[in-house]
């Protein structure tokens, strides 16, 4: 697999699988926590023209066009500090461990189920996504598929392509058999996030009654949108004429639609999935389509991608529409997603991880695994000229070696100065105790007198302030000490 580098002001260099430069001149790429020109790699794509204007002054950009880590060049595995990727490559724990200096992964799109975010956090790698760029496109595609199932446009087109005639009423009835009226039908949406809400509003305009199930959505959203919330997934499946999936994929909802949940759906209901292929058990769906329990299904995402009708359990399933995971795509959405992904990488390079990131999806895992959420100014070592490590030396792989128990030992060694990086600890004076004010003496009063309000007795400092008490200090008196700026980590 060839590796292409694009560097402003230099000829583009092409590295072959043997690591030797084939064309152009390319200086060696250095890597380190303080180095100003880190390596950023687009793992599963070839076009960096959108990302380059955003990253060219802070990073060296390369693209790999790989479908697995076996195809990624060794230089990227050893030196890349940031990785951009689409949905066509999967990064498991074993894959992530191959990257020696990786600090951030940005998924160009909303879904991130192709990255093990927990393992990434334990290895000190932040994972981000771009959740809002393809909402309109995905919602439009979802509604197109829903309308197609109800009006059977795809099957009518296919019948005409095969030479079917529809000149009489009987022939029309035969070709268009199964087409249904939309108004009055109930659309059930599983997951009322950005896309789910956009689909709901579009469906209402066509006459659908819309219900939804989302246990994570705060109460009250349904009233503002004019929708009806279902308390359980079973309630939604029972009351829906068409079910549309708009939730992310995780270990808890894999095969959410399976043989058991399909039997809870209305007889002859439709199913649409533009979210994630792993949400649907395709073997159970194929059986339900053949038996007629589900009248029709439309899938833009599949358990195995790229999808092929010639293989898999759906190859003989009737009344099925499949598209190749393209519901997110438009030219505008693609450019917006790539720009935002590049900006996220730039924030990581010029700022702090994860504090400077906008859409870090494994921040909680990252903070728990590293046990080092941030470094206060008082803990910055003077030999670093005011710069701090985003990930302290020796702490990145501690979870893989000894778990959180090992992390505590490393943190303790960092505090006590016994870690091998050779930096001595900085001692700071303890916080002074608050000043002791003289205790006021209570005035005597008769025992039969009503209780009175305690009055404030001024302290000696209030009655006789020192001469400089009200002195307003100059800006130079309170300004923090100037620290030499250092290159970003």
* CA separation for the pair 111, 417 (Å, rounded): 41
Sign of CA dihedral 378, 379, 385, 391: negative
For 21-35, b where at least 16 C-beta lie within 10 A, e where not — what string?
Answer: eeeeebeebebebeb
- Residue 43's φ and ψ, nearest 5 degrees, are -75, -45
Measured CA to CA, the distance from residue 315 to residue 303 in angstroms comes to 13
CA separation for the pair 121, 396 (Å, rounded)? 9
| Active-site residue identified among 87, 276, 302, 346 | 276
Which one of the listed residues 152, 325, 347, 390 is annotated catalytic? Answer: 325
Write the secondary structure of 59-78 as one string of H (helix), E (strand) and C (coil). CEEEECCCCCHHHCCHHHHH
Instruction: Please tell me which residue in 174, 305, 383, 412 is annotated as part of the active site.
Output: 305
How far apart CA 374 and CA 392 sit, in angstroms, is 10
Instruction: Return the SS3 of 336.
Output: helix
Residue entry with tokens 């109460």: 219
Residue 146 to residues 158, 182, 230, 232: CA-CA distances in angstroms? 18, 10, 21, 23
263/295 Cα distance (integer angstroms): 13
Catalytic residue status for 325: yes
Taking residue 189's Cβ as centre, other Cβ atoms within 10 Å add up to 30
Q: What are residue 244's DSSP bridge partners?
A: 189, 272
276 included as an active-site residue: yes
Active site residues: 276, 305, 325
């Amino acid at each position: 697999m060839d590796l292409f580098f694009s560097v402003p002001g230099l000829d583009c260099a092409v590295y072959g699988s043997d690591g030797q430069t084939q064309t152009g001149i390319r200086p060696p790429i250095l890597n380190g926590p303080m180095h100003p020109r880190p390596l950023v790699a687009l793992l599963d794509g070839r076009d960096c023209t959108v990302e380059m204007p955003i990253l060219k002054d802070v990073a060296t950009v390369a693209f790999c066009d790989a479908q697995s880590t076996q195809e990624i060049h060794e230089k990227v595995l050893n030196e890349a500090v940031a990785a951009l990727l689409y949905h066509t490559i999967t990064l498991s724990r074993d894959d992530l461990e191959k990257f020696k200096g990786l600090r951030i992964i940005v998924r160009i799109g909303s879904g991130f189920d192709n990255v093990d975010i927990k393992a990434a956090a334990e290895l000190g790698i932040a994972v981000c996504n771009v959740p809002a760029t393809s909402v309109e496109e995905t919602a439009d595609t979802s509604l197109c598929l829903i309308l197609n199932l109800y009006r059977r446009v795809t099957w009518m087109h296919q019948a005409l392509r095969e030479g079917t005639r529809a000149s009489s009423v009987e022939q029309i009835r035969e070709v268009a058999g199964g087409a249904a009226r939309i108004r009055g039908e109930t659309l059930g949406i599983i997951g009322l996030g950005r896309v789910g809400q956009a689909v709901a509003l579009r469906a209402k305009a066509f006459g659908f009654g819309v219900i939804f199930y989302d246990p994570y959505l705060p109460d009250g959203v349904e009233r503002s949108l004019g929708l009806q919330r279902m308390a359980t997934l079973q309630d939604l499946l029972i009351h829906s004429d068409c079910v549309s999936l708009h939730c992310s994929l995780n270990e808890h909802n894999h095969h959410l639609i399976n043989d058991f949940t399909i039997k809870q759906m209305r007889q002859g209901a439709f199913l649409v999935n533009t979210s994630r292929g792993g949400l649907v058990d395709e073997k159970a769906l194929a059986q339900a389509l053949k038996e007629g329990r589900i009248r029709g299904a439309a899938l833009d995402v599949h358990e195995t991608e790229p999808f092929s009708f010639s293989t898999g359990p759906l190859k003989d399933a009737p009344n099925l529409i499949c598209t190749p995971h393209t519901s997110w795509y438009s030219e505008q959405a693609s450019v917006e997603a790539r720009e935002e992904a590049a900006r996220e990488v730039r924030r990581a390079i010029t700022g702090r991880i994860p504090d400077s990131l906008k859409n870090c999806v494994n921040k909680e895992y990252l903070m728990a695994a590293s046990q080092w959420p941030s470094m206060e100014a008082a803990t910055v070592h003077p030999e670093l000229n005011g710069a701090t490590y985003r990930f302290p030396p020796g702490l990145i792989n501690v979870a893989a070696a000894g778990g959180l128990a090992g992390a505590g030992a490393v943190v303790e060694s960092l505090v006590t100065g016994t870690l091998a990086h050779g930096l001595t600890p900085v001692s700071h004076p303890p916080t002074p105790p608050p000043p002791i004010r003289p205790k006021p003496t209570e005035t005597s009063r008769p025992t039969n007198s009503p209780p009175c309000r305690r009055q404030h007795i001024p302290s000696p400092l209030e009655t006789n302030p020192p001469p400089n008490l009200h002195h307003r200090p100059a800006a130079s008196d309170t300004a923090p000490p100037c620290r030499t700026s250092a290159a970003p980590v």
